[in-house]
Chains A and B, each alone.
Chain A
């Protein structure tokens, strides 16, 4: 019985050592389960020889690669806790996360040696950096866990820009991988084209679920050119594809998907944000016979909470369906569970629900109440029990599948010289789902260059800073009680 995520590889290596675990599409290089198991063992031994002990946190700063996956599982096999770091974050945000976790070592990809070194020099707990060339060293691997340590920590955004380290246990991850494998019918011949970043749980979960089934992960880092990704589906006989709504919007509107047969493709997974119904219906029409899974989840649930039966995708494109196997979802109102069509907060219970946030009891207590995860999303169930998401409680906005915080943008804008007030409002966007429109007013006598202010924001925010538009106004509208009137600002766009 598999009880630790590292066993996903050792189990497959034992039974099917020659089967492909990873294919890197750009080079065509394949890594078998046997080879991956050996790499993981060598790197884990190296980590132990460098003094890493069970429970230590080890950061991973890299784009998607076979090396990243090997390092992730090596950290786990050494009994330590892998902490994937978002490569689009600015240096100060990476340093903040590394400090919160007390990271002991950092694995880095080829392009990230300098940034890893900068983090290491600013965070005293970091003892060493390593990469694909590190090791081997003598010494064995201390198998087993680090007491109550999590299997992994994945950072997500809380309100007001607060980074929250979601702690997921081995049971959390494995139960969710089993659920995904069950409802999508994954088997060893399945091959997923992985274009999602592995520093997010959605990308990682496709690795877990396909390794759980003994399948193959095809790493494709060139989705910027969507026809190349379609070529890779055909060349490597991919059976699956997973993306956020912007991936599908790009495929429908900016690729030659209409002229492709994609004969081997069996399933497509969408999650991370709400997909426009027009895109869903286009996909169903363009790729008849392929199963499209519209899904819902969050990092705190490892991540999958619900999915819509593919046969309902065209009829109910705005629904995320029902709870995945092993999960119970209730819509919570002020007086208990809501009746059908009544809007309340999405709450969930199951083996996949996180242990809590790393060293943040206050945020954990807010999210986990009596064993139920309070997802922070509002929604309702219809008469069939299918769930519809209507909005977020926290005020966070999804841009290209990533959480963005209008408050953080306002704070960063307010640091810019000459800004008296700043207010950010979400704006619907066909490709990204949302953009943020920033309104600022200057202090008396100051002049603000909107373009320069945007540069300032891009430099200080994660990737979503690009999706910011700026307007400078002499003053910002007020509500009766003196607050900035965001409803009126939305009308200014």
Chain B
């Protein structure tokens, strides 16, 4: 699956600001921690995982639900690219 450069991050950002911040223009930096900034809670992470699985047709295993994969836009982009590459 070929993904255009930057599209993962913008799609994830759109989902997160719409779902958790409630407006399109909410400030959210690529390195901002969703947890540290109080943006996302336990239900939110489960919703985020479901959204990624559905959007990119990938399966995320329980051990992969960790901040290093999911807690910033940068981490999300790296993680999704890695999954799509089958690594």
Contacts and interface: CB of A to CB of B under 8 A. Distances in A.
Interface of A: 63, 87, 111, 195, 221-228, 246-247, 250, 254-256, 400, 431-432, 451, 455, 458-459, 463, 465-466
Contacts of B44: 224, 466
B35 A455 contact: no
Interface string B48-76: 01000000000000110111001000000
Contacts of B45: 224-225
A431 B22 contact: no
A254 B35 contact: no
A195 B42 CA distance: 10
Given A63-B38, A111-B38, A254 B65 contact: yes
Interface string B19-58: 1101110000000001101101111111101000000000
Given A225-B65, A254-B62, A254-B65, A458 B19 contact: yes
B87 to A, nearest CB: 21
16 contacts: A221-B35, A222-B67, A223-B41, A226-B42, A228-B67, A246-B42, A254-B49, A254-B62, A400-B43, A451-B18, A455-B18, A455-B22, A458-B22, A459-B22, A465-B22, A466-B47
A246 B62 contact: no
B43 A431 contact: yes
B43 A225 contact: no
Contacts of A246: 42-43
The 10 closest A-B pairs by CB, nearest first: A458-B22, A459-B22, A224-B45, A223-B42, A224-B42, A256-B62, A111-B38, A224-B35, A224-B41, A250-B42
Given A225-B45, A227-B63, A250-B42, 17 more contacts: A87-B38, A195-B42, A222-B35, A224-B44, A226-B65, A228-B67, A250-B43, A250-B46, A254-B49, A256-B62, A431-B43, A451-B18, A455-B18, A465-B22, A466-B20, A466-B43, A466-B47
Contacts of A256: 62-63
A24 to B, nearest CB: 14
Contacts of A459: 22-23
Contacts of B34: 224
Nearest to B23: A459
Contacts of A228: 66-67
Contact of A466 (B19, B24, B49): B19
Contacts of B42: 195, 223-224, 226, 246-247, 250
A455 B42 CA distance: 21
Contacts of A195: 42
Nearest to B37: A111
A175 B15 CA distance: 46
A273 B28 CA distance: 33
Contacts of A63: 38
Given A400-B43, A455-B18, A227 B38 contact: no
B25 to A, nearest CB: 11
A85 B4 CA distance: 43
A465 B22 CA distance: 9
Contacts of A431: 43, 46
Given A246-B42, A250-B42, A459-B22, A227 B66 contact: yes
Contacts of B70: 225
A463 B19 CA distance: 10
A246 B43 CA distance: 8
A111 B39 CA distance: 11
A227 B65 contact: yes
Nearest to A226: B42
A243 B70 CA distance: 23
Nearest to B60: A254
B67 to A, nearest CB: 6
Nearest to B26: A459
Given A223-B42, A224-B42, A224-B45, A455 B62 contact: no
A225 B67 contact: yes
Contacts of A451: 18
Nearest to A247: B42
A464 B20 CA distance: 10
A224 B19 CA distance: 16
A323 B83 CA distance: 51
A375 to B, nearest CB: 26
A247 B42 CA distance: 8
Contacts of B67: 222, 225, 228
B32 to A, nearest CB: 12
Contacts of A224: 34-35, 40-42, 44-45
Nearest to B36: A111
A304 B42 CA distance: 24
B79 to A, nearest CB: 13
B59 to A, nearest CB: 13
A399 B85 CA distance: 37
Question: B20, B42, B47 — which one has the most chain A CB atoms within 10 A of its CB?
Answer: B42
Contact of A432 (B20, B38, B43, B65): B43
